[in-house]
Structure 1
Amino acid sequence: MSARLDSSACPAPAWLPGGHLQTIHSAFFARHHHIAFVRQRLDTPDGDFLDLDWTGPGLFADKLASGATAHPDAHLSRTAARRWLQADDWASLPSSPDTHALVLFHGLEGSSRSHYIQAIAQYFRARGWVVVVAHFRGCSGFPNRMARAYYSGDSDEVSFILEAVRRHLPNARWHAAGTSLGGNAMLKFLGEAGDNAAWLQACASISVPLDLVACGRYLSESRMGRWFYSPYFLKTMRAKLHDKARRFPGLIDVVRLNQARTLREFDDIYTAPMHGFRNALDYWTRASSKPLLPNIAVPTLVLNARNDPFVPQSCLPGPQDCSNTILLHQPAQGGHVGFTTGRFPGNMGWLPARLARFFETRS
């Protein structure tokens, strides 16, 4: 039995036509609520760290568990977190079988400050859910300790994060949602884990480049990909690597790095060799989640707009490519995480509501 396909519309407004405008406007101008978090730092088995940003009933960014006022930590001023999590904060969070919890995985160069993370986190927190935003290495506002960073197929990192949050709230009904790069890593984990991930109630992926070869080529060769999207991402990615080059002399070819103009060139220079791949094509091929969709056992929403400028419509999966636990939702409009609706300047309310409808029917 194959997956189900939903082609119902995301009601994109007439004043925001086309995938490019929907993508760019949503990232910079669409309205969404803002939420502040409490930050936890996890040490990884290989000596690095990951930062998780938590929010939920009973946990407050501006108040300690004792009730005392929590003054903002100056070291967190450039993040969406206000303070560091303390041991007695755990008792403030609900952890009963009736507790609903959601872990969010961000996209390329994203964080808990990203518009889509903020919109989703605030929506579910307002409805009594515990929400935790998992930052990939180097994306939390602090450089990670190692020469390696993060990549689109790092399912081991996703597994580590999921087990960590589960240990903290073992009785909660856990859900997961991943956007773009983070969604690909999450889907790859689900496909590899099979029934071992059945403790998750339901998952959702948003604007995921499931076929990294097709999407990587498209972003590296299309006009907008080469002249707008790639430079936008490469600006922060290149800055992070210059910092790593200073801390790890001789490990990164800075001359080639400065000449990189596309994501493929960046992945050839750094991402692929640093994480055990021969080159960008080998990385994209082995890290893609699309071949693993038939193995996913957890109820999963796979949401991709058909006009996504990062994901060619021709590479989107069909029902025959997936297990019967998957619901493919492929609206005509929405861009790349650009599901803005409503009057100008629009809002991000449709996306979290879509996730909630799926989760509520599977919880």
Structure 2
Amino acid sequence: MVDSWHAADFRPPAGLANRHVQTLLPRVLPLPVARTRQEILELPDGDFVELAWSQPEPSSADAPILVLFHGLEGSIESPYARELLNVAAGLGWRAVLMHFRGCGEHPNRLPRAYHSGDTADACWLIGQLSHRYPEAMKVAAGVSLGGNMLAKLVAERGGQDLDLAGAIVISAPLDLAACADTLSQGFARVYERHLLGSLKRKMAPRLARDELPLAIGPEGLAALDSLRAYDDAVTAPLHGFDGAEDYYRRASAGPLLAEVALPTLVLHADDDPFMPPALFERFPTPSAAVRVELARRGGHVGFVEWRGGRPSSWLARRVACQLEAWAAPDGLVRWPGGQTISRSDS
């Protein structure tokens, strides 16, 4: 095991260790109330994304900021979104979720959608936050698809070129082709059908109105039976890729981990049903700025532990600990176990 890999301290409760149980539990447990302020952020190409700001917001303009990127077909209603925004706000942070195009309350304007390697909107948002809050420390977190996007962004633009002190990548499909294949097998087909159904419901009306430059029509869309088929017929041609394989190759962030210069925490469960096992053995050794914490159990964005006499989110607790460590005023980036690096060296 390379130095960048560490064992996560997550321990599932007795009887709740199964990866599918862990994946589905957050959807049935009580969640914090989502008190948010909505904002439309205009984009340079004439489209927009919808932001959800956790309320109440800090009064100080230099309060640290957490910006969160959700997963495929996620939103402010996703359990992890509520948990992570709530925990950041509880620490006194300004917390905001960016909905990918078309994932908020309104369909986006342009004949396009979003995808796992689509970093431009996130980069624009971070730049806008830099102008609004120049003195605030900023940390970004990405979950699942949003995690792959964020890892790709910090590999391409991190270090001195991005106004972030750190990044947190959670349950990310860093090898998109392998993850698409995994989702088409066994019980994971349940998750694939759920995601595919959501994508189709959103895309079908746009195809019926002839809004999109695609060869496929509503009937062809309805016949697609896998995420790979959807990416080949919709995602890839809509965003300039030469089919699903080209999209997966160019958008997967795993091969770029060796190039990351920004302090980046990667949280992953080896039993994630969306991913092949031993995912990180497929990639080059991550850079010294990357810390990968692997849990044997945890499912996909699950990580439900037993704490205080009830099921609780280890993920929210781990993120909170990292945010507190990174907010220390001495300019050091802290990892568990006492390791520190200077932000100026990252």
Q: TM-score, normalised by structure 1?
A: 0.84
Q: Is the 8 A contact 2:49 2:99 kept in 1?
A: yes
Q: Does 1:192 align with 2:156?
A: yes
Q: 1:358 to 1:245 in 2, by over 3 A?
A: same
Distance 1:153 1:42, change over 3 A: same
With normalisation by structure 2, the TM-score equals 0.88
Amino acid at match of 2:30: R
SS in 2 for 1:144: coil
Residues 256 and 269 in structure 1, CA contact (< 8 A), matched pair in contact too: no
Runs of 4+ in 1 over 4 A off after TM superposition: 317-320, 343-346
Residue among 289, 296, 304 paired with 2:260:
296
- 2:343 corresponds in structure 1 to none
Shift of 1:12: 0.8
| Residue in 2 that maps onto 1:6 | 6
User: CA offset at residue 198 of structure 1?
Assistant: 5.3
Q: Does 1:23 align with 2:23?
A: yes
State how many pairs are aligned: 324
Conservation of the 8 A alpha-carbon contact between 2:170 and 2:266: yes
**AA paired with 1:337?**
V
Shift of 1:296: 1.0
Whether 1:264 and 2:228 are equivalent positions in the alignment is yes
For structure 2, the residue ranges without an aligned partner over 5 or more in a row are 328-346
Give per-residue Cα distances to partners, 1:32-88, cap 9 Å, x unaligned: 31221001101111111101111255x4xxxxxxxxxxxxxxxxxxxxxxxxxxxxx
Q: Which structure's relative contact order is higher, taking Cα pairs within 8 Å and 6+ residues apart?
A: 1
Contact 2:112/2:212, CA 8 A, preserved across alignment: no
**Unmatched segments (≥5 aa) in structure 1:** 60-91
Provide the residue aligned with 1:231 in structure 2: 193
Does the residue aligned with 1:355 lie in a helix, a strand or coil?
Answer: helix
Q: Percent identity?
A: 36
Return the match for 1:177 from 141, 147, 151: 141
Shift of residue 109 of structure 1? 0.4
Whichever residue aligns with residue 49 of structure 2, its letter is L
Structure with the larger strand share:
2
Cα deviation per residue 1:184-203 (whole Å; 9 max; x = unaligned)? Answer: 01110000013234531111
Shift of 1:333: 0.9
CA shift at 1:113, angstroms? 1.1
Which residue of structure 2 aligns with residue 62 of structure 1? none
Aligned partner of 2:60: which letter?
A: P
Distance 2:28 2:140 in 1: 26
Structure 2 counterpart of 1:153, from 117, 121, 129 = 117
Counterpart of 1:139 (choices 103, 128, 134) is: 103
Most deviating of 191-200 and 135-144: 191-200
Aligned CA distance change for structure 1 residues 46 and 314 (closer, same or farther; 3 Å): same
Q: Give 2:49's aligned residue.
A: 50
Q: CA deviation at 1:334?
A: 0.6
Cα 1:318/1:352, change in 2 over 3 Å: farther
Contact 1:56 1:93 in 2 (8 A): no
SS in 2 for 1:313: coil
What is the CA distance between 1:182 and its match in structure 2? 0.5
Amino acid at match of 1:123: V
Q: Which residue of 2 aligns with 1:95?
A: 61
2:67 partner SS: strand
